[in-house]
Chain A
Amino acid sequence: MALSNVLETPAAGFNFDNAARNAALEGLFERGQAPKPLKTGTTIAGVVFKDGVVLGADTRATSGEVVADKMCAKIHYIAPNIYCCGAGTAADTEKTTDLLSSNLTIFSLNSGRNPRVIMAVNILQDMLYRYHGKIGANLILGGVDCTGNHLYTVDPHGSVDEVPYLAMGSGDLAALGILENGFKLDLELEEAKELVRAAIHAGIMSDLGSGNNIDICVITRQGVDYIRPYQESEFKDNRKIKYRYRPGTTPVMTEKVVPLKLEVVQESVQQMDTA
C-alpha cells in the first residue's frame, strides 16, 4: 500500500480522476483511432399479445467495425416475471440490469410480493436520469404482473414510454416497419412469435450492426420460455479443421523426476472453542 497525501478516503461510486487526461488525449487521437467501447448495435423488439409479452433480440455485439461477439445474450433477467432487452453500450446495459434485478429481489424478499413492471421502470428512470445520459443503455422492459401485460421503453436520459409494440437499436427502423404492418391487438402466441422473428430478421438484413442468431423470450402468467437461439443464421462459419492439438503431438525427449522431501518440523494442535 502506498502512503501518500490522501487527506480523505476516496468517495465510493464513479471515479472521475482520469477525465482530465481523457479530455486532453482526445485531442491528440485522430478521428477513429481512440479505442471504442463494446456496443450492441442491435435490433431488439417486443410485442404484447393476448396472454403476455414476446421479446426478441439479435446476438451480435460490435466494437467499432469488428464483430466482437457472435452469440451475445441481449435479453437479461430482471425478475421471474420481467425480462429486459438492452441496446447501447454492452457493459452499461449489463450492469444496469444487474443492479435493477438486485434491487427488485431485495424488494420482493422484504415485502413477500412479486415485483411489478412499473417498479422496475421507476428504478431505472431514477438511475439513468441521475447520470444525464452518460450511461448508454437503451432498454426494452417487458413483463407480466398482477395488473396485466406491459411493455416499456427506457432511454439513456431516463424518458419512458409504454407501448403495445416496440423496436430499438440501430436496426429499429427496419423492424418497426414489419411490426407496424403485422401488429394487431390480442395476437395468438405463434403469430406473435412469428411477428417478432420477422421484425428482427428485417433488422438483421438491413443493418450492419445486427446479425447472427435470433433469441426469443416469451413471458406469460404461467412462466417464461427463453428460446436461445430461436433461429440460427444460415451463414454460420463451417470450420473444416479442428485447431486443437491431440495429446502426444509433441514428442517427449527426456524425463527427470525429483521428489520433494518434506519433513514435519513442528506440529501444534489448537482446540476450537465451540462453547
Chain B
Amino acid sequence: MCRHENASQPDVAVYRKESARNGINMDTRGLRSQLKDSVPVAGLCPHGAYGVQDSLRSGFSSVKNELLPSHSLELSEKNFQLNKDKMNFSTLRNIQGLHAPLKLQMEYRAARQIQRLPFLQSSNLALDTLRGSDEAIGFDDILNDPAQSEMMGEPHMMVEYKLGML
C-alpha cells in the first residue's frame, strides 16, 4: 500500500528569519532534514476537536504554527525509531556487507505487514521480537498508551487516509 504525501517542503529561508516566537528562539537550520515525510498541509485538518482550530489551547492558526514544532524534542522523538534503525543498518552494512541489512530489512518489511486496520490497535509482536524491544520497557510503553486513548478516530476516514484516498 503506497501512500502519497503532500510534497510541499517548508521554505527554510523564511523560517530562519522568523524563528523567534514569543522571545524563545529555536534553531531551525537542521530541521529540514528531520521534517521527513510527515509534513501536514496547513488548514486542512486543524488539531482541535471536531476539526475546528482550538484557539484556547493552540493559539491562532497560522502556517508557521502547523509546520514548525514548538518543542525541541518533538521532531527527534517522532523520528527516533526510524533514525535508530537507519543507524543500525548502516553500521551492519559497514561491518558485514550489504547482504546483512538487506536480509534483515526483508524480515522487517514482512513483519510490518501483519497489522490490523488503522483504527484498531495492533500488537506488532513480530516486529517487536525482531527489534528486541519485547524485552525492554521505555517511556513509550507506559505513557500515552494508544490502546487506552480516549479519542477514537472515525474508522472510514482513517482507512481512507492510510490508503491515500483522502
Contact = CB atoms under 8 A, between A and B. Distances in A.
Interface of A: 1-21, 23-24, 26-27, 95, 99, 102-103, 106-107, 110, 127, 130-132, 134
A5 B141 contact: no
B14 interface: no
B136 A106 contact: yes
Contact of B138 (A17, A110, A127): A127
A5 B135 contact: no
A8 B117 CA distance: 11
Nearest to B157: A7
Given A15-B143, A21-B57, A4 B74 contact: no
B95 interface: no
Contact of A6 (B69, B136, B141, B158): B158
Contacts of A17: 47, 57-58
Contact of B135 (A6, A15, A26, A107): A107
B24 interface: yes
Given A5-B157, A21-B57, A26-B24, 13 more contacts: A3-B152, A4-B153, A6-B153, A7-B45, A11-B146, A12-B141, A12-B146, A16-B70, A19-B70, A23-B24, A27-B22, A99-B137, A132-B72
Contacts of A16: 69-71, 73-74, 77
Contacts of A102: 137
Nearest to A5: B51
18 contacts: A1-B151, A4-B49, A4-B50, A4-B154, A6-B151, A9-B118, A9-B121, A12-B140, A12-B143, A16-B77, A19-B69, A20-B59, A20-B65, A27-B22, A102-B137, A106-B136, A130-B80, A132-B76
Given A6-B158, A19-B70, A20-B58, A13 B140 contact: yes
Contacts of B69: 16, 19
Contacts of A15: 143-144
B166 interface: yes
B166 to A, nearest CB: 7
B161 A11 contact: no
A104 to B, nearest CB: 10
B45 A11 contact: no
B11 interface: no
Contacts of A20: 58-59, 65, 70
Given A5-B50, A7-B161, A19-B71, A13 B149 contact: no
A23 B21 contact: yes
Contacts of A24: 22, 59
Interface string B129-141: 0000001111111
Contact of B136 (A3, A21, A27, A103): A103
A15 to B, nearest CB: 5
A10 B139 contact: no
A5 B143 contact: no
A125 to B, nearest CB: 14
A209 B51 CA distance: 47
Contact of A1 (B74, B152, B158, B161): B152
A18 B47 CA distance: 11
Contact of B144 (A14, A21, A130, A131): A14
A4 B119 CA distance: 12
B77 A13 contact: yes
Interface in B51-91: 51, 57-59, 65, 69-74, 76-78, 80
